Structure 1
Amino acid sequence: MKYYIIAGEASGDLHASNLMKELNVQDSEADFRFWGGDLMQAQGGQMVKHYRETAFMGFLTVLKNLGKIKANFALCEKDVLNFRPDVLILVDYPGFNLRMAKFAKKHGIRVHYYISPKIWAWKEGRVKKIKAYVDRMFTIFPFETEFYQKHNYEVSFGGNPLLDAIENRLNKEEVFPDFIKRNKLSEKPIVALLAGSRKQEIERVLPVMLECVDSFPEHQFVVAAAPSITQEFYASVVGELKVEFVYGQTYDLLQQADAAVVTSGTATLETALLRIPQVVCYLTGGGRLLFAIGKRLLKVKYISLVNLVMDKLIVKELIQQTCNREMISEELNRILFDKEYRSEMLYNYQLLHEKLGGAGASARFAKMIYEDLQR
């Protein structure tokens, strides 16, 4: 079978690569062409564009890059028609992928959506486009299945592929002394800082995270640096503040950390599945007015996936005005030194793990996709 896959960011690259690995098991003649990243490239096939060239976040950034975005659409449409895949597999990234779903449907190409856009939180009206253009939706959270049932659209839940990524991670057995030696870090216990993978969010949230460093002199603060972001960019954001960096080793870093300060998103779930106590930070651009408008449009009670899946407050969420030095320091102090508070969070992490269905999701999804195409 011929598979055309579109992933627009680092998390999409991770999940799509694991899906490709399992599709190769199901289909010995699998032929991949894709938009993605290095992890997908490692599974074989032909990469058309790296997500570094296609990730545009925020209204102003999109506006400034309209020419590039239009050119990317034109290139993708032409490339899909030339490749003529048996299926177009879309991985999250809704701004781009929903338009490609419409295009593929118009040209008689089967469309699978792997990892639903977060329309349950924002822009619920997009469900109409999904029902019109997507032949089959694969969901990774139980609450997503419930959301689509409400809209009379059948979806397939197969568990969460993050469990596979974490279970199969490199350096899984590495111990703290080896990790700090390999990365030239001190012997102090680690607080991991996960500030995202996009420049705009890093610029907003990392300086605020770093304001609490001086309050914890017995710990070293280490940033999980995104491979797509240059050292020069991080240096311009951090300035003279004392902080260390490790590139492309988020799981390795979390595994060795005592606690983590995490920007909202997939990273909150990864941190929880690795059993690391965390505090979640969220800052938007555009000031209080824009945030107030956005808050009224949100359809969910929580911003972190951990709390959303469990449908209760498991990890503290510090949003906008509450995302400041005092509040981050206070919560970090609790998850580091309050044994009862820390134990309760870890217990809820175990319940979260069980609720997500266990390992093997990537293989289950690959089997569903291949069997659907055979039919």
Structure 2
Amino acid sequence: MRPPRIVMVAGEASGDIHGAALARALRQLAPEAEISGLGGPSMAAAGVDLLCAYDELAVVGVAEVLPKLGHILAVMAQLKGHLGRVRPDLVILIDFPDFNFRIGRAAKKLGLKVLYYISPQLWAWRRGRARQMARFVDALTCVFPFEEAFFRRIAPDLPVSFVGHPLLDRPPDPEADEPLPGGRDAQWVGLLPGSRMSEISRLAPLMMAAARIMAAQRPELRFVLPLAPGLDRRRVTPFWAGAPEGLLILDGQAERVMRQARALVVASGTATLQAALAKAPMVVVYKTGKLSYHLGRALIKVDHIAMPNLIFGGGLLTELIQDQATPQAVAAETLAILGDAERRQAILEGLELVRGRLGQPGANQRVARLAMDLIEGNAH
């Protein structure tokens, strides 16, 4: 028998990381598996044969998508052609719904099996799409505890299971405890403006301005920015203009910053959950284009956008979104975390509760086993 053929599709940095971990888990069960598809440097390092990289695909909002639509459609056509030539035993889609729904439908037309890993956040908006998924998805795996019940209620024909969150499987960074410059007593504030250029262009200048305000009020504070993997320093450096004196830029090392900073300012997204697991008090910020924001605001059905808040069930963390995200507000909320011991302790206790609700480690192994069952025809 030939080795199993698997095509994986991840369209942004967080999906690339999860895809890489899943690829390694799959190889433990099927060492000869031929895994190809769309991803980034982490998946490539895990032995995935990349047909193309996800560069320039990870954009947010209607206005941001339009200038890159031609490239997105070209990559989509390339992937669809690859599916037709390779005829994989399984297609694994990782989040990225606007792109992956089209790939999933194309795969189903070819008679291919589809596993959706890291379910799209349809509970937040466009809930009716859950029923669309039932037409092309053979198995959906959820990584947040409330998602399974949502999908069972909205799309009862969709096979769904909660597998726990893969961040619980990530091995600790051996350098995370290496003290940042200045030693353990340095008062660091971490700035995490996201992994997409569209996020960085809006959020990095906001964070720089907020940091200058904080530095004026608390001169002992120092600021550190862990640059997301895969970003080109030359392209993002202009967004640090106006940074407070002594801003430290690190390549990666987000876990190190999260574990050692006294407070964080974080772009809404996967980083908020990583910071929650690191027990890092934070302020969550987000900005997008005006058109995209108003369209999204009309559709979004949840009261919070930060995942730790959604898991906690309330406003554990301050969220400053769109017009609320001013340098003055970001600085004030961050300084409040630094200066209010009771508030800080309440956040830490809430983050511990969030961690407990994410299930048990082993998500990648559970998804890999389900993938092999689908390939072998043993899934129920």
TM-score normalised to structure 2 length? 0.91
Deviation at 1:28, TM superposition (A): 2.6
**Counterpart amino acid of 1:154?**
P
Q: 1:57 to 1:365 in 2, by over 3 A?
A: same
Shift of 1:72: 1.1
> What is the CA-CA distance between 1:312 and the residue it aligns to?
1.2
Find the counterpart in structure 1 of residue 12 from structure 2. 9
Partner of 1:269: 273
Q: 1:234 aligns with which of 228, 233, 236?
A: 236
Root-mean-square deviation (Å): 1.9
1:341 aligns with 2:340: no
Kindly state the Cα deviation for residue 5 of structure 1 after the two structures are TM-superposed: 0.1
**What's the counterpart of residue 250 of structure 2?**
246
1:142 paired with 2:145, answer: yes
Cα deviations by residue, 1:139-195 (Å, 9 ceiling, x for unpaired): 101111121011123311110001112xx032256331xx438xxx99732111111
Q: Which runs of 5+ in 1 are unaligned?
A: none
Question: Could you list the per-position Cα deviations for residues 320-345 of structure 1 after superposition, in whole angstroms to 9, with x for gaps in the alignment?
Answer: 22211222122111221211111111
Shift in alpha-carbon separation, 1:13–1:293, aligned structure 2, 3 A: closer
> Which sits farther off after the overlay, 136-145 or 203-212?
203-212
Aligned counterparts of 1:77 and 1:98: Cα–Cα separation in 2: 12
Question: Aligned match of 1:259 in 263, 267, 277?
Answer: 263
Q: State whether residues 180 and 187 of structure 1, in contact with CA within 8 Å, keep that contact through their aligned partners in structure 2.
A: no
Take 1:173 and 1:88, find their aligned partners in 2: how far apart are those partners?
A: 35
Distance change (3 Å), C-alpha of 1:112 and 1:360: same
Amino acid at match of 1:364: R
Instruction: Note if contact 1:195-1:224 (Cα within 8 Å) is conserved in structure 2.
Output: no
Q: Which moved more, 1:74-83 or 1:52-61?
A: 52-61
Query: CA 1:58 to 1:110, structure 2 compared with 1: closer, same or farther past 3 Å?
Result: same
Q: Taking every aligned residue pair, what percent have the same amino acid on both sides?
A: 36
Distance 1:186 1:161, change over 3 A: closer
Cα distance in 2 for residues equivalent to 1:180 and 1:164: 29
Partner of 2:181: 180
Q: Equivalent residue for 1:50?
A: 53
Distance, in Å, in 1 between the alignment partners of 2:100 and 2:332 is 40
Q: In the aligned structure 1, how far is the partner of 2:269 from the partner of 2:62? A: 19
Total equivalences in the alignment: 366
Aligned to 2:161: 156
Partner of 2:100: 97
TM-score when normalising by structure 1: 0.92
SS of the equivalent of 2:17 reads helix
